[in-house]
Amino acid sequence: MLRRLVLAIAFLSLAACATTPPPSVDRPPPAPLPVILVSIDGFRPDYLDRGVTPHLSRLAAEGVRGVIRPAFPSKTFPNHYTLVTGLRPDRHGIVENTFEDPEIPGETFRMSNRKAVGDRKWWDQGAPIWVTAERAGVVTAPVYWPGSEAEIRGVRPTHWRAFQMSRPNDARVDDLLALLDLPPARRPRFLTLYFDTVDTAGHRFGPAAPETVAAVAEIDTQVGRLAAGLKARGLAANLVVVSDHGMAPLAEDRRIFMDDILPRSAWRTLAAGAFMTIYPAEGRTAEVEAALLKPHTHMACWRKAEIPARFRYGRNPRVAPIFCLPETGWSLTTRDYRPSWSERGNHGFDPESPEMAAVFVAGGPAFRRGVVLPAFDNVSVYPLLARLLGVTPEPNEGDIRDVAAALTR
Ligand code: AMP
Ligand code: ZN
Ligand code: ZN
């Protein structure tokens, strides 16, 4: 009994001491929180206003909401790499989803080509956040993020997986939570989660279609599962939810047939739709330029060196010799193109057009509550990630001041 009393007094006096904190040098620094970067491919900011996103809307209300401008071209691979390098495609070298490099003759980079996607030579012009973090001793898991399958600049993330589009969304969330259950030495502090469902529905049915709204609702449910999984583990984390680009509606009567302008034998292309990359055939450059570089209705074409400065695109040797961009919502195609299904939505257009805007939502202890940020370029997500992880960012084109108002310190 006496022993208990003594213990109780000792505890009380300790508790009293605790009101005057010891010098901070005596305390271990607080364990750094995990940073979870979620990409919802093709998610437009206005999808948050469709009444089907309780979890994302709560995260935004209790944290930060904003609109990010994608880099040009507003496609998946270029923009995912921009988000994690702070460099625009002209500088990080992933200039399109499909491209060639004159210094790598005979090969084509395609996002569907496993070998290319995992080959560092395509990625080494940039240094993604996980490379910098791993070098600083941070365990990372950029699962399904473009570039994560390659040993970029000689560094492989501790955890990664070969991209598998068929992997159900539930399983993707469970994979992330399982990584957080690993023993501390293997447990990642930087993790990514990627969903393609909303982009796929947007392409097939268009941004306003009920099928796309259903896809938005499905991904919101997954964000809810992620939050519940963190809560069940008693884990605090800083969550950054982004998309890579938006989605514009297409129409059958807004198509330009490029083979009506130019004979098919004079050129080839690696990308069509929201823009077209043009490679003149041997000896046909003058003819191709004469046909394309003049004014057209609903479309402009430029030599790579003459692409308007605001696109910040055209210096990289990987950019096609001629680039044609239609008005947003128009398609560049050819008479012989016979898709198995008709596309109702697309992206890749001018990043300044409102339909191409991407979403930004963030929450967690590092973020203030109820902040709405003015629109900013997606290059600034990179310095934010570096700040959250406590690593020194590589030289980049972003600006931490774009997001400073969102941070508690
Ligand atoms: P986009 O054509 O620009 O709309 O690209 C979207 C597609 O990119 C998705 O439907 C996925 O199939 C594909 N994708 C996304 N991430 C990866 C990845 N890490 N590896 C291969 N393909 C990917
Ligand atoms: Zn995308
Ligand atoms: Zn897409």
Nearest Cα to 203, choosing from 77, 343, 76, 331? 343
Ligand 1 atom having least distance to the Cα of 77:
3
Ligand 1 atom having least distance to the Cα of 76:
3
Helix axes 210-232, 54-61, angle to 10 degrees: 60
Nearest CA to ligand 1 atom 20: 163
pTM for the whole structure = 0.93
- Output the pLDDT for position 26: 62
Nearest CA to ligand 1 atom 23: 111
> Ligand 1 pocket: which residues have CB below 6 Å?
41, 75-76, 97, 111, 117, 144, 146, 163, 165, 194, 196, 199-200
CB burial of 360-370 (b: ≥16 within 10 Å; e: otherwise) equals bbbbbebbeee
d(CA 96, ligand 2 centre) in Å: 11
CB atoms within 10 A of CB 74: 31
- Amino acid identity, residue 364? G
- Output the pLDDT for position 5: 38
Ligand 1 atom having least distance to the Cα of 165:
12
Ligand 1 atom having least distance to the Cα of 144:
19
Catalytic positions, written as ranges? 76
SS (H, E, C) the chain: CHHHHHHHHHHHHHHHHHCCCCCHHHCCCCCCCCEEEEEECCCCHHHHHCCCCHHHHHHHHCCEEEEEECCCCCCHHHHHHHHHHCCCHHHHCCCCCEECCCCCCCCCEECCCHHHHCCHHHHCCCCCHHHHHHHCCCCEECCCCCCCCCCECCECCCCCCCCCCCCCHHHHHHHHHHHHCCCCCCCCCEEEEEECHHHHHHHHHCCCCHHHHHHHHHHHHHHHHHHHHHHHCCCCCEEEEECCCCCEECCCCCEEEHHHHCCHHHEEECCCECCEEEEECCCCHHHHHHHHCCCECCEEEEEHHHCCHHHCCCCCCCCCCEEEEECCCCEEECCCCCCCCCCCEECCCCCCCHHHCEEEEEECCCECCCEECCCEEHHHHHHHHHHHHCCCCCCCCCCHHHCHHHECC
d(CA 194, ligand 3 centre) in Å: 13
Q: Would you give per-residue pLDDT tens digits along the chain (409 residues)?
A: 444 433 333 333 333 334 444 445 566 666 689 999 999 999 999 999 999 999 999 999 999 999 999 999 999 999 999 999 999 999 999 999 999 999 999 999 999 999 999 999 999 999 999 999 999 999 999 999 999 999 999 999 999 999 999 999 999 999 999 999 999 999 999 999 999 999 999 999 999 999 999 999 999 999 999 999 999 999 999 999 999 999 999 999 999 999 999 999 999 999 999 999 999 999 999 999 999 999 999 999 999 999 999 999 999 999 999 999 999 999 999 998 888 788 999 999 999 999 999 999 999 999 999 999 999 999 999 999 999 999 999 999 999 999 999 999 8
CATH superfamily label, 35-248+349-406: Alkaline Phosphatase, subunit A (3.40.720.10)
d(CA 239, ligand 2 centre) in Å: 20
Of 75, 76, 152, which is best to mutate to test ligand 1, by the most ligand atoms within 8 angstroms of its C-beta? 76
- Output the pLDDT for position 341: 84
Nearest Cα to 43, choosing from 164, 207, 176? 207
Nearest CA to ligand 1 atom 6: 76
- CATH number belonging to domain 255-342: 3.30.1360.180
| Residues contacting residue 349 through CB under 8 Å, at least 6 positions apart | 74, 248, 274, 275, 325, 326, 327, 328, 329, 355, 356
CB under 5 Å of ion ligand 2: residues: 41, 76, 199, 244
* Whole-number Å distance between alpha carbons of 78 and 71: 8
d(CA 290, ligand 3 centre) in Å: 32
d(CA 371, ligand 1 centre) in Å: 31
> And the tokens for 165?
């589009």
Nearest CA to ligand 1 atom 16: 146
* Whole-number Å distance between alpha carbons of 211 and 50: 13
d(CA 245, ligand 2 centre) in Å: 6
The closest ligand to the CA of 345 turns out to be 3
Of 82, 94, 196, 347, which is best to mutate to test ligand 1, by the most ligand atoms within 8 angstroms of its C-beta? 196
Ligand 1 atom having least distance to the Cα of 203:
4
Same fold, 35-248+349-406 and 255-342: no
- Output the pLDDT for position 14: 37
Nearest CA to ligand 1 atom 14: 111
Give domain limits for the chain: 35-248+349-406, 255-342
